[in-house]
Structure 1
Amino acid sequence: MSSHTPGAAPETTRIHNIGYRNYDGARLGRAYARRSLFSQSLRGAYGLGRSAKSKVLPMILFAVMCVPAAIMVAVAVATKANKLPLEYTNYAVVMQGIIGLYLASQAPQSVSRDLRFKTVPLYFSRPVERVDYVLAKYGAMASALFVLTAVPLVILYLGALLAKLDFATQTEDFAQGLVSVTLLSLLYGGLGLVMAALTPRRGFGVAAVIATLTITYGAVSTVQAIAWETGSSGVVQWFGLFSPATLIDGVQVAFLGATSNFPGEAGPSTSVGVVYLLVVLALIAGSYAALMRRYRKVGL
């Protein structure tokens, strides 16, 4: 095809075949897309596949979680102690500040960028659906927290065997510790993602996560201490229902034989522990439901 304007040089227009072809490869479907999103999100929680700067904080926090366990093992081996300095079930409770900082830094990066740059609707184009996105993100965040909290327990367990502590006792205690950090990872992961998903601004997400974990724990611990000092020891266990950290503490005291971190070691009884467990499970289910509701709106 050509066109010519009087007084101008001839101009030729061509249509080129640039070789588009139909895709004839395997259609891997929703399951593959969900696994890929899970894997990408889990790797991203430790900065893998991202810039070097993104790896610094999660790797430092991971090291900080593991170093005390290694030190305890070294002390137990060197002194030929008959038990570890800290119970498996209490390790995460003692290190909860590091866990909270990790969650505050990584939960927003997992979801806030998708919200800020409005890429969520692109995920929800076929074959990925809303439930796939939520399951992948929730599963990745909980798995990242499990790695953070379980690896130090593995170090303690291997160190205990190296120190020739009783195998059966250490294995039972180690298994109880794994159950505890599994519940913690599901609870913290869900709450962290819900807080982070409320806003596309990462800074606000970080502040919301820190406030949810730190302020609630500080307030509950203070009220529990006041109640104990004033002789109202019976209500100490009920105040523990209002903080994620004390909820996990109460569950492991009631069912996993852990030593309570409540004032005066006034942990919940088994009957009250059932209430603790139901609240933890309700919060996990509620976090999932809240994420599904949130992404019903942003996915439009």
Structure 2
Amino acid sequence: MPADTPAAPAPAPQSTGGGTGGGTGTGPAGPDSRIHNIGYRSYDGPRLGRAYARRSLFAQSLRGAYGLGRSAKSKVLPFVLFGVMVLPAGAMVAVTVFTKAKELPVDFTEYALALQLVSGLYLASQAPQAVSRDLRFRTIPLYFSRPIERVDYVLAKYAAMASALFLLTAAPLVVLYAGALLAKLDFSDQTTGFLQGMVSVAVFSVLLAGVGLVVAALTPRRGFGVAAVIAVLIIPYGAVSTVQAIGVETGNTGAVPWLGLLSPISLFDGVQTAFFGAETGFPGGVGPTTAQGAVYVLVTLALVYACYAVLMRRYKKAGL
């Protein structure tokens, strides 16, 4: 090559990307370039804590037990059963007032036991609704990711179901009491009976709510849960009543009160017979004595605690 020939110019560096940063071989930033900070900001508002979460879950569960906050279809059955529970009390009040009877057709402590089938249907329909969906759709870990613990969830659900049952069984007693006062029956007797009845249905509600929730929590599918709750309430009670009747017929009446410990319904019957002045529903009218009633109370408390313990264990597994 001739010595006076100029060297070829070096090629210009080529861009390797369309970014806006320097030092990478890219062009300068355009006039519309922006840097956006999309990071999360810390929450500066009030922190209401576990107590608020527990109350909220209780209120939501109690409302749900009567279909409030849910579809119109969900409200039909609970309110129909509520009406079926209250209407007989209204009819009894009307009969008492217009016939000027000296007492109500039924004692306050007898009403819940007389309409136990309605209470059982209500529990069977609403207990699975309270717990089965959370288990079936695996939303339990979402609850526990908030400032709420397993004990809060269990207590809120248990209290809500017991409160819903209490509303169902106490409302007719309020109607009966109002009717008794309207009929000018003895105020002292009616007030005493009313208070005994309210304490009785409170025991009834806590006891049956625990049994219903345990059965529903162990059967996450709602249809199976409904059938299982009905079976657990009806089959043992029917079996106990049958064996008690056989004991009366064969003269073994001493075994009748002890057999009542084997069914939730008969267990409740024995408690209110021994301590709330109720007439027993056991065959032959053979109710527990006061000493036997103490055993009924202990068994009732043990069953309630057992239901709580089973729920805690069930949700320990479900919350993983």
Give the TM bin, normalised by the shorter chain: over 0.9
Match of residue 164, structure 1, among 174, 184, 187: 184
| Greater shift in the superposed pair: 243-252 or 41-50 | 243-252
- Matched residue, 1:42: 62
Match of residue 138, structure 1, among 150, 153, 158: 158
CA RMSD of aligned residues (A): 1.7
Query: Are 1:83 and 2:103 an aligned pair?
Result: yes
Give the structure with the higher percent helix.
1
- Matched residue, 1:110: 130
C-alpha distance 15-265 of structure 1, shift in aligned 2 (>3 A): farther
- Matched residue, 1:9: none
Q: Name stretches of at least 5 consecutive residues in structure 1 with no aligned partner.
A: 4-11
Larger radius of gyration: 2
Cα distance, 1:230 vs structure 2 = 1.3
Could you tell me how far apart the structure 2 residues matched to 1:191 and 1:107 are?
9
- Matched residue, 1:66: 86
C-alpha distance 291-13 of structure 1, shift in aligned 2 (>3 A): farther
Query: Are 1:226 and 2:246 an aligned pair?
Result: yes
Cα distance, 1:22 vs structure 2 = 3.0
String of CA shifts for 1:93-117, please: whole Å, max 9, x gaps: 0000000000000000000000011
Question: What's the % identity of the aligned pairs?
Answer: 71
TM-score (norm 2): 0.88
Q: How do residues 186-265 of structure 1 correspond to structure 2 at under 5 angstroms?
A: 186-265=206-285
Could you tell me how far apart the structure 1 residues matched to 2:116 and 2:163 are?
16
Could you tell me how far apart the structure 1 residues matched to 2:281 and 2:33 are?
80
String of CA shifts for 1:78-99, please: whole Å, max 9, x gaps: 1111110001001000000000
- Matched residue, 1:274: 294
Q: Name stretches of at least 5 consecutive residues in structure 2 with no aligned partner.
A: 1-16, 20-31
Query: What secondary structure sits across from 1:187 in the alignment?
Result: helix
Cα distance, 1:21 vs structure 2 = 3.8
Could you tell me how far apart the structure 2 residues matched to 1:90 and 1:291 are?
30
Moved over 4 A (4+): 12-20
Could you tell me how far apart the structure 2 residues matched to 1:232 and 1:15 are?
89
1:255 and 1:273 in contact (8 A); partners too: yes
Query: What secondary structure sits across from 1:2 in the alignment?
Result: coil
Could you tell me how far apart the structure 2 residues matched to 1:71 and 1:205 are?
33
- Matched residue, 2:305: 285
1:2 and 1:13 in contact (8 A); partners too: no
TM-score (norm 1): 0.94
Number of residue equivalences: 293
Cα distance, 1:41 vs structure 2 = 0.1
String of CA shifts for 1:45-90, please: whole Å, max 9, x gaps: 0000000000000000000000000000000001111110001001
Match of residue 174, structure 1, among 191, 194, 218: 194
